[in-house]
Homo-oligomer: A and B are copies of this chain.
Amino acid sequence: MTSLAATPHGRSLPRSYYVDEDVFAADLDAVWRRYWLFAGHTCELAAPGDFLVIEPADESLIVVRADDGRLRALHNTCRHRGSRICDEPAGKAKRFVCPYHQWTYALDGSLQACGGVDLELGIDRGELSLREAHVEEAAGLVFVSLAEDPPPFAGARGDLERMFDRQGLDRAKVAARRGYAVCANWKLVWANNRECWHCHVGHPEYIRANYDTARDNAQARAELDARVAALQDRGFAVDHPDVGLSAFPSPGRWWSVNRTATVPGFQTESVDGLPVAPPMGSHDGHDTGTLRARVLPGFWCHASADHAVTTRLLPVGPLETKVEVTWLVDARAGEGRDYDLDRLLPFWQQTSEQDWALCERNQRGILSSAYLPGPYSPSREANVIAFDDWYLVAMNGRGG
């Protein structure tokens, strides 16, 4: 494999990191099979038996609420001869029956029936439970980890639960979902997410609502200070009161949550700034800024008072990343009555699709042998530098 030492600091990574199969395989081991992967939402897994299937690379996991009310992440591979058990992307089950020879597993993955093979062979049935991955649930968001010993989740949980307290994601519902096969390495998708230099031209809708790309002059300063003060007066912790993006990640910090103000007139992240749905959770009005979270390597979210948008990345290969964007609204809101998809979706659908096109173009240029790691802007791409640093530390196995 390409030596990790050959990465010049402050420049984009060498070509092999974005192109080679063996680096991708190493990424899977060092990152995707080690950290916490966003799987879905509590509201999709409300009652015992509710399940969804998540498929990072060749893996397949059934995330299901068991009878004890706790979530389980069960490998979707029968312990008999390895058949895929569940074909549906989501649903409701009383138990999981392998369609091949009807080996049957309880919602907690324990083997309930195997046609007596355990007796025939003198095997302890307990050894033939579905294999499990770790699963955590915080603030209405569900994460899994394929690691044997994943990094402690407590810090992320604390931040998510504290900051998303009023958002009520656990009492939300999925209003819409869009899936994408983005022809770009997952690291390019993250690098794209970690800077807003490209927003000036790339995201005309987004920059009208947000201070991410605003100049830090006296006028903007005064305007932003007023917006922040108003939020704080209403009891919202605004821990990113500045223009530009908050700093993320850093070695040891694979998650972050923060609230920031929107531009005056933008009560929510919609194209015209006007609300697109009733307030969620315990919000009693609109105009609560944007609440943002990121959890490496596969999750980010923007939440307004009236809706939230989560983005889930899953790696497919060195040149492909699966992306799912989900719009959430309050569970009591009715489509056509309280919200319309025509108004709810465009802001983030357009911004997302603009990003995927930029990422794919980035990937295509890097395929050329003429590509050389280029200089990041320390001011505008500090978070991209930070992401590469975090990634390289993870790849060297020195924690994350």
- Which residues of chain A have a CB within 8 Å of any CB of chain B? 10, 12, 15, 18, 33, 58-60, 75-85, 87, 99-102, 115-117, 120-121, 123, 128, 131, 191, 197-198, 200-202, 358, 361-362, 364-372, 374-380
Contact = CB atoms under 8 A, between A and B. Distances in A.
A387 to B, nearest CB: 12
Q: How many copies does the complex hold?
A: 3
Contacts of A59: 368-370
Nearest to A127: B375
A169 B87 CA distance: 41
B58 A368 contact: yes
A201 B99 contact: yes
A195 to B, nearest CB: 9
Interface of A: prevailing SS: loop
Contact of A371 (B77, B197, B374, B375): B77
Contact of A99 (B78, B87, B358, B380): B358
A250 to B, nearest CB: 21
Given A370-B131, A377-B120, A365 B60 contact: yes
Q: Which of A12, A367, A375 neighbours the largest number of chain B CB atoms within 10 Å of its CB? A: A375
B82 A366 contact: yes
15 contacts: A75-B368, A75-B370, A77-B368, A77-B370, A81-B191, A81-B376, A82-B366, A83-B358, A83-B362, A85-B365, A100-B362, A102-B201, A116-B377, A121-B377, A123-B375
